[in-house]
Amino acid sequence: MTVQPGAVPDACVASAAAASGATSGATSGAASDASAAATAAAAADVASSGAAAPDAVAAATAVEAADLRSGWLTGIAHVVSPNADARPAGAVASLLVIHNISLPPGRFGTGDVARLFTNTLDPQADPFYPAIAGVRVSAHFLIARSGDVTQFVPTEQRAWHAGVSSFEGRERCNDFSIGIELEGTDELPFTDAQYAALAGLCKRLLACHPIDALAGHSDIAPGRKTDPGPCFDWQRLRDALALPPAFFPFQPTPAGPV
Domains of the chain and CATH, by start: 9-18+75-245 (3.40.80.10)
pLDDT of residue 44 exceeding 50: no
Q: Which of 48-52, 94-98, 149-153, 202-206 has the lowest mean pLDDT?
A: 48-52
Q: Is 156 a catalytic residue?
A: no
Q: Kindly state the average pLDDT of the residues 58-75.
A: 74
Please, which pLDDT band fits residue 51 given cuts at 50, 70 and 90? very low
pLDDT of 22 over the 60 cut:
no
Least confident of 61-70, 165-174, 209-218: 61-70
pLDDT digits (tens, 9 = 90+) for 161-205: 999 999 999 999 999 999 999 999 999 999 999 999 999 999 999
Which is catalytic among the residues 64, 181, 183, 187?
181
Q: What percent of the chain has pLDDT over 90?
A: 71
As a whole number of Å, the CA-based R_g of the chain is: 18
Mean pLDDT for the chain? 82
